[in-house]
Structure 1
């Protein structure tokens, strides 16, 4: 049994992070993009070594062609849509290490000179097989940086080799163990015998803590297999993100025998599900409230960010690189801004995996209180207070850090493309807002 620690990023979202052992800090930062060597003993031999233990997903197609088709549709849709995600778009597991976004975020983070252990913890979510083959971490890193990935990241074999989840407390992410071998695990209680591989039932595949081992801050309590709460009691991650259907795990049988989950792994929103479930629709977005007290010098108060019963932290968990901006503005009766304060939340690239994991902006089923103080212009009379909450998937990189990474790229075209992509994902997107008129006793004289 081989234990591994999986850490997100999300994207989600995206997932989109970091790397493993064996790659020296000097080489990881300054080495130019490397092309795979040619010849019969090229570095593909180590990929074959991994695939002897974790077969490629396309090998599963012969029997599981329905699941393979769903997986492929999700992956190809993400590849065609390599742009900042809309609220209804995400990058699925099949593109965990192949998107240009991951390549550039990973390369940029390497400029902060993470240790080998920190790089390993990053890659364990994007390439779970690295936990069984840590000696190949530097090779995987070079493939990611070169944009010539041949090793498979998240795959059928790695997901269905998980046989145990370790979740000791809610203060640190869960870890899980892989059990490589001929047997694969799944949710069905009585898997049928076959001539290809043994199958074993595991309750993990109907538990939220299975997903939380990488998506570690998406749920209130990562140690529990269920999601607490009266409205969604009995619901698990798989119910929403693996839309339920009926059929057979092996499409060759053709019988409508039992419920099965789709393997497209829908992201932020499944539109049909949102329309059917009004509770989910009502609770998905956070809500802002404003409490205000007035004075002759300034306006003080509190913005309350409320998240309903949805199990997610907002907006979708995994806070490693996500950024939030809360802007509080005082506006007079003519619509003119007379005072403004901006509060930012999120980690820098240099803080990732070095400091304790940051708390999400707001956990599911909770309210966060953000105090503010607005110094109003002399003689101005504010009539209302407005609060705007925005988020971005990535922080703005330190200019020196960004320049070092861009310099490591081999051409002006690639430097321009990397800068464009990283910039787009740092742009904040409006999440929600609230405006409150000031009452007479709250308005400055």
Structure 2
């Protein structure tokens, strides 16, 4: 009798443990649950490491750019923590709509993006190959403008006609990739925040500038063309630079003209400083990186 009771007790404990495991698994699954009719996050937005196999030069350029660290930097983690603790922090996907824009297609997995960023070494990409080259159009009626993706599509979009046919994916030329519209989702405005100036408009009246009217786009300065090779070096052609020069380096040094004049009168020195912006958008912008 004692043996039977012991066996029964063990079975009871086992059933409870299994039930607890199933419940725990269900809760975890629910945390990151997604529509079964949609492709998974990993399939919809493949890792940039897969693109590196054929596009090594572009990958290496991107890897040195600020875009590659959009959710990896300590500054972003600190800002994310501060935001999540604020009253607006209930919208966990807000920061990622720029720093990892594919969260727009998987809003139910916003917590996953938060957990990845907080880990300090996320396996998810932020702003990488798929996050840009899967954009088919940009809706400028929204503020800020919204990128539109085709989930499950094997077609990658870009600015060139002379793409190389390959087995990895289909390619299609899209004029959007030579237009500033492509950049506006993340670079036109930032959410309301303290100490960023009177306006959160990053660019100002850039679209009315002489540069734009003469045919220059964001890519003209921030993705300058260079002579390079297509995937796997199969053909020489013009390629876009993917280091995204801007706030740091030569482009910043050339962004403004500085004139300093001094006038000495007795024991007083008067200094007159004139700063002339040479860029078609606000300088500095209200982006936190410029505000520091």
TM-score by length of 1: 0.47
Higher strand share: 1
Higher helix share: 2
What CA RMSD, in Å, does the superposition of the two structures yield over aligned residues?
Answer: 3.5
SS in 2 for 1:268: coil
Over 3 Å counting, the alpha-carbon distance change for 1:132 and 1:311 in structure 2 is same
Question: Which residue number in structure 1 is paired with residue 184 of structure 2?
Answer: 212
Partners of 1:212 and 1:57 lie apart in 2 by: 22
Question: Which residue number in structure 2 is paired with residue 421 of structure 1?
Answer: none
8 Å CA contact retained: 1:162, 1:185: yes
Question: Which residue number in structure 2 is paired with residue 153 of structure 1?
Answer: 126
State how 1:131-170 maps to structure 2 within 5 Å: 131-168=104-141
Does 2:148 align with 1:177?
A: yes
Q: Deviations over 1:81-140 (max 9, x none)?
A: xxxxxxxxxxx11111111111111101222121544x3232111112211111111122
TM-score by length of 2: 0.69
1:54 shift after superposition: 0.8
Of the candidates 228, 232, 240, which is equivalent to residue 261 of structure 1?
240
Q: Deviations over 1:344-389 (max 9, x none)?
A: xxxxxxxxxxxxxxxxxxxxxxxxxxxxxxxxxxxxxxxxxxxxxx
| Structure 1: gaps of 5 or more residues | 1-38, 76-91, 275-279, 290-302, 323-390, 394-445
State how 1:185-264 maps to structure 2 within 5 Å: 185-216=157-188, 217-221=201-205, 228-229=209-210, 233-253=214-234, 255-256=235-236, 258-264=237-243
Partners of 1:230 and 1:145 lie apart in 2 by: 40
SS in 2 for 1:191: coil
SS in 1 for 2:245: coil
Aligned length: 238
Does 2:74 align with 1:100?
A: yes
1:184 shift after superposition: 0.7
Q: Give the number of the structure whose alpha-carbon radius of gyration is greater.
A: 2
8 Å CA contact retained: 1:231, 1:309: no
Question: Which residue number in structure 2 is paired with residue 66 of structure 1?
Answer: 57
Partners of 1:94 and 1:231 lie apart in 2 by: 27
Over 3 Å counting, the alpha-carbon distance change for 1:126 and 1:241 in structure 2 is same
| Structure 2: gaps of 5 or more residues | 1-24, 189-200, 262-271
Partners of 2:277 and 2:61 lie apart in 1 by: 31
